[in-house]
Structure 1
Amino acid sequence: MTDYDVLVMGEVLVEVHLDAALRDAADGTGARLSYSGDALNAAAAAAAAGARTALLAVVGDDELGVPLLDRAARLGIDVTHVRRAARPNGAYLLGADPDGDREFVYWRTGSAGSTLSPAHVESWRELLGRAGALITSGITGALSASSRAAVLAATAIVHDAGGHVSYDPNFRARLTSRAEARQLLAEIAPLTGLLKTSCPADAHALVDSDDPLTAAERYRALGARAVAVTTGADRLLLHDGAGATFFPVPVNPDPLDATGAGDCFTGTATARLVLGDPLADAVVCGLAAASLSVSGRGGTGRVPAFAETAALAGRRLEG
């Protein structure tokens, strides 16, 4: 029996969301403090989708560590396995651009999250070996050499135990080189049940293609069993080896901020897969949850309940 349906390993960040574009920030600009990071966003979505979910991360012992973990717990995430470090928490500043583009400034150097290591993974070995699924990302693997080794070790444990791995390469040029990101992808793809990526951003950098179908085929050639390629705000391509299908993204009439929408997709789809949904149904639920999430500000500003997700996805809840 699994202890958890979904484990999410990665970075949690303090989020400061400005009321203005960064270029327009001045004295008196309002701001909102929250918590995000791809791991927290995905874990919140998985928990909301009905999965028993735990966060595997290293959080700082600074003044924001306790409220950060309190926020995660209120989102339904088990934080009892989170480790603490005498380092500051990573943070980012998010600007609201009136043209719809998001702008970010990060502070990560020497953060608690970057100390994630194989020693932490070893302490979580039994959990990983019994988990239904693991979600992790290229961002986590790019934080430090020890984080990269941790990602590789954790994915191997889950894969070897028969669990599912969801991986988002999430290439960030400020964190890593294309060569390093490609090498990590090549090592993890064969262990991955669902690889979620973007086109053209990730695909251009990692598999030399601006075409979603070509990109999906190249990711599958690396060993990923199923590949979900976001191709903008309106559709996603799913390639599972049997064929490739475009899925429309449900329209959100009141979009506010797309931060964390991709993480919401991954967390929701992974949760539904582990809970027994067919791949296509899980993807449809993931798209619905991601669409709903953009009505909130910041990465965890809007985490839809599964009843809302299912309704938008056109599903009927049982019971």
Structure 2
Amino acid sequence: MDTADRDAPGFVTIGLYTRDEYLFVDELPLAEQTVSAIFAASSHGGKAANQAVAVALQGVESELVAVVGDDTYGHEAIDSLTGYGVRTGRVRLAEGETGRSVMVVDRRGRQTIVNEVGVGPGLDFSLIEQCLASTPSGSWVSIQSELPGRLNTDICRYVQHSGLRLAFNPSPVTGTLEQIDIVGQADLLVLNEGEARSLLAPGDGPLDCELTDVADRIFERWDPWLLVVTAGAAGAFVRSKDIRASVPSIDVKPVDTSGAGDCFTGTLIGSLLRGDDIVDAVSTATVAAALSTQNRFCYPSYPSVQDIEQARERHAVPGGDG
């Protein structure tokens, strides 16, 4: 972004862009059931791309490192992300097809997603290392579980010795040793309720307990600087060394929940980089994610700082309940 201080801490996310193909239906199909779409549409997404846009919308320097196909969709991806203020100098074009996601969304905003990653996993660590070597100390680096585990491990090791901070959303949760090792190294761990429960093995205690108990057990086992477990309309639960707080959401009628978790993660990191305290940053992220569900698609649905501030005032959102 032209006005940003390039020496100030910023945000780098490493992962996927996908072309999102949507089918909107009345009810999600059951196994072996055929349903008719009300209408179809296409848009932009991918967990890393979504987070990059959410951070940029907070007015913070944001960069995406990714590979897209040297096809129409790949060029459209770069143009779209650049238009949102995301730095795309390290989004590489490769021979092959840009990844895509097929999203089926019902009238209550619930969705199922099938990914075809295309050339996305073809990232070379030398490109990532080049980016991170020029990233200011104190910046956040975000990874997800859509890239090969070995590549995420290499990123994690680099970040540990670089003065950068690692954010990890282990989605999807695979339970591999590589993924669990990264969970233990992350400064910021963001999980939804399903991911949080999936991280705990049966030997860690009962899994049908309250979400706050699940979060406490994750925090005690892996000791991140900050753990946030999101719970949809119920808001989020926050754990750090000094904070144990529930942060409420706002009441909205969702149209499409796809990308809401990425909106949350990116807005949270952007708010922290803007200087907000932890609970206020989580509150801002919770409101942003809720607002994103009121419109269709992933990052094109994300709210601006002004949108979030107006919603917080309108709903009289408190900072959190310790």
Query: Does the alignment pair 1:310 with 2:309?
Result: yes
2:125 matched residue in structure 1: 118
Report the Cα distance in structure 1 between the residues aligned to 2:309 and 2:160, rounded to whole angstroms. 29
Kept after mapping to 2: 8 A contact 1:19/1:31? yes
Q: Deviations over 1:44-64 (max 9, x none)?
A: 110001111111111111221
Q: Which residue of 2 aligns with 1:68?
A: 77
The match for 2:300 is: 301
Deviation at 1:22, TM superposition (A): 6.3
The answer for the alignment partner of 2:204 in structure 1 is none
Residue in 1 that maps onto 2:54: 45
Q: Sort the Cα spacing of 1:67 and 1:25 in 2 relative to 1 into closer, same or farther, 3 A.
A: farther
Aligned to 2:222: 222
Q: Which range moves more in the overlay, 271-280 or 211-220? A: 211-220
Q: Can you give the 5+ residue segments of structure 1 that lack an aligned partner in the other structure?
A: none
User: Which residue does 1:255 correspond to in 2?
Assistant: 254
Cα deviation per residue 1:280-308 (whole Å; 9 max; x = unaligned)?
11111111111111112121231111111
Report the counterpart of residue 269 of structure 1 in structure 2: 268
Match of 1:292 in 2: 291
1:242 aligns with: 242
TM-score (norm 1): 0.85
Q: Which residue of 2 aligns with 1:94?
A: 103
Deviation at 1:196, TM superposition (A): 0.6
Report % sequence identity.
Answer: 24
CA drift of 1:4 comes to: 5.8
Per-residue deviation, residues 166-220 of structure 1 (Å, max 9, x unmatched): 2111225xxxx43x1xx23432234322211011x11222114343223223332
Partner of 1:162: 163
Tell me which moved more, 152-161 or 72-81.
152-161
Q: Is 1:14–2:23 an aligned residue pair? A: no
Q: How does 1:152-231 map to 2 (within 5 A)?
A: 152-171=153-172, 177-178=174-175, 180=176, 183-199=177-193, 201-208=194-201, 209-210=207-208, 211-220=210-219, 221-231=221-231
**98 and 256 in structure 1: CA distance in 2 versus 1, 3 angstrom threshold:** closer
> What TM-score, normalized to structure 2?
0.84
> 1:97 Cα shift?
1.5
Distance in 1 (CA, whole Å) between partners of 2:191 and 2:225 is 13
Q: Distance in 2 between matches of 1:99 and 1:311?
A: 25
The amino acid across from 1:230 in the alignment is T
Partner SS, residue 181 of structure 2: helix
Task: State how far apart, in whole Å, the 2-side matches of 1:47 and 1:265 are.
Answer: 13
Partner of 1:59: 68
1:137 aligns with 2:144: yes
Which of 3, 7, 14 lines up with 1:2 in the alignment? 7
User: Are the aligned partners of 2:108 and 2:256 in contact in 1 as well (CA < 8 Å)?
Assistant: no
Secondary structure, aligned partner of 1:161:
coil
Paired letter, 2:246: F
Segments of 4+ moved more than 6 angstroms: none
SS at match of 2:141: strand
Map Cα deviations across residues 84-110 of structure 1 (whole Å, 9 max, x no partner): 2212111111112235431223223xx
75-84 or 153-162, larger mean C-alpha shift: 153-162
Q: For 2:11, give the aligned amino acid.
A: V
Indicate the larger mover: 263-272 or 125-134: 125-134
Residues in 1 aligned to 2:7 and 2:187: alpha-carbon distance in whole angstroms:
18
Q: Judging changes above 3 Å, is the alpha-carbon distance between structure 1 residues 127 and 223 closer, same or farther for their aligned structure 2 residues?
A: farther
Is the contact between residue 60 and residue 85 of structure 1 (CA under 8 Å) also seen in structure 2?
yes
Contact 1:97 1:103 in 2 (8 A): no
**Partners of 1:122 and 1:243 in 2: CA distance:** 34
